A and B are shown apart, each in its own frame.
Chain A
Amino acid sequence: MEHKICVLIIDSEPKSVIHIQEILNENSLIDRVDVATDSEMALLKVIDSVPDIVLMEFPFRDKTINELYKFIKTKLTETTVVFISESKDNAAQAIQHGVYHYLLKPIPNDKLDKIIGQILLLKQNSVQLKIKQVIEKSTEEKRLMFYTSKGYILIDPEEIIFCMADGIFSEMYLTQNRKEIIYLFLSRIEEILGSVDFIRSNRKFLINRKYIRKVFKNDNSILLFHEGKEYIVKGSKQHIRNLTKLNLD
């Protein structure tokens, strides 16, 4: 999941707009920047792009902008409003509007970047996103059928902790302490399970991400954990590097 930020600048001063655009262009978290110099344009852009951040010139130039602000505040609950102003004097009014991001022109790079960082964090932690994740994961997963020495086995991928290559066969370590020999190359199992949260940690192992508990950088190993039982598997340097990055994507 890549999170990027979409920004709308509503400002009637061309010089100020250019300055903000320059800062935003330097920021790698920014995906899209729109500009509106009057209220009509602003309304269209808000509806069109549903921005994550709206940088608004404050105090408002006209009543339409005020109405637009109210619309954003009440209807676009995931959008953060940042007021940009010539003077400190209007900050009290900003508080009355319930806006706590208030930047003075000319906008300092570091302050704007800091706000963007905070908003990205908010976005990644938003309630809507969490609910979406829970719902997506709760959809019923189909069981898969594999050949074994004795016949077939039907397994929900959730039950597989990891698979280990053993020549032309693969050993499948399952929940409830079960183990099965599957008549398939590990690479074939990888093709089947690769789409459902499994990773090939190295040539020998295909592991279920769900059961990763610890990742050790010192000896490139991964500890899988389920029902009190621990399994140590090896990982390639690249996988270890990716896994130890501190985000869950």
Chain B
Amino acid sequence: MDSTNISAFIIDDEPEAIQLLEMFLRFFPNVNVMGKETQAKKGLDFVNQNLPDLVFLDIDMPDMNGLQVANHIHTENFYSEIVFTTAHPKYGYDAIDFQPLDFLIKPFTVEDVETVILKYQEVAEKKKYLRKVDLFIHSQSNSPKIKLPTINGILIVEIKDIVLLKAKEHNSYLYLKDGTIETITRNLNILAETINSQTFFKISRSAYINLKYLKKLDKKNLKCMVNFNQSVLEEDITKSNLLHFEKLDLFPPMQGH
């Protein structure tokens, strides 16, 4: 099995269930259980602040059910992979839209957990590969172009020339390499979906940067600096997005943490 470390978090209202899963996970030395929580809400907060690779999530819980937790994780953090753990297969139909990595039906075995780990490794590899391909494509001289709607017509740009996307009410601002700023009549999320490139990284609810132009990250003041037309723009980055950036493992760190 691959030795890359995988961080995991367990949310289950039954302590015995947590114990058993933890015992299973001990069979996999590359899996590090970051924490566990019997209260769903507390667990959700932990997950969104620490972005574990894997979240084992029970569904039937008193304060907030697992599907609600998954919904929050899905909208706030697209990093963590969810594995539902439940005694009731009937929840499968409602759970499918969250595209969980797996759905374990209690009582499950250590072999089932092994399947989860293998699946995770496969997904992580695939994501990494796609990111590399995407970076390669957009670094070519003839990189793909995109058509975007503006107030009085359309704008055609090469994706690699876009430095920054910023939300402006229902529209978005597009900052281009040459220093121009264009207004696109689409909201930020739709714009980001249309561009559909892994080189664009979400730094906050209202901005995406093209990693190609990223110059500096200020962890203390939560700022990131991007190159823009021979000057530098300073943008706010949220704590969880900064953590996500670090987890992307895109650039080899030159100093240990």
Contacts and interface: CB of A to CB of B under 8 A. Distances in A.
Interface in A201-217: 212-217
Contacts of B155: 213-214
Contacts of A91: 92-93, 95-96
A127 B93 contact: no
A248 B145 contact: yes
A100 B103 contact: no
B146 interface: yes
A134 B150 contact: no
B153 interface: yes
The listed residue with most B CB atoms (<10 A of its CB), out of A102, A130, A216, is A130
Contact of B144 (A92, A98, A130, A214): A130
B196 A89 contact: no
Interface residues on A, range: 20 to 34
Contacts of B145: 248
Given A92-B95, A95-B100, A138-B141, A216 B147 contact: no
Contact of A95 (B96, B152, B157): B96
Contacts of A217: 152-153
Nearest to A213: B156
A177 interface: no
Contact of A215 (B143, B146, B154): B154
B81 interface: no
B108 to A, nearest CB: 11
Interface residues on B, range: 35 or more
Given A131-B133, A214-B155, A247 B96 contact: no
A198 to B, nearest CB: 15
A130 B137 contact: yes
A188 interface: no
A134 B95 CA distance: 38
The listed residue with most B CB atoms (<10 A of its CB), out of A92, A98, A228, is A92
B194 to A, nearest CB: 9
B119 A98 contact: yes
A126 to B, nearest CB: 11
A92 B149 contact: no
B90 interface: yes
A248 B154 CA distance: 12
B130 interface: yes
Interface string A43-70: 0000000000000000000000000000
A99 to B, nearest CB: 8
B3 interface: no
Interface string B104-140: 0100000000000001000000000010011001001
28 contacts: A89-B89, A89-B92, A91-B95, A91-B96, A92-B91, A93-B92, A95-B92, A95-B96, A95-B102, A98-B119, A127-B133, A127-B134, A134-B142, A134-B143, A134-B144, A137-B142, A138-B140, A138-B141, A138-B142, A214-B156, A215-B156, A216-B153, A218-B152, A240-B153, A244-B154, A246-B147, A246-B149, A248-B144
Given A212-B156, A214-B154, A215-B153, 7 more contacts: A92-B91, A95-B96, A96-B103, A100-B97, A127-B134, A213-B156, A248-B147
Closest 7 interchain pairs by CB?
A: A92-B92, A91-B92, A137-B142, A88-B93, A91-B93, A95-B103, A92-B89
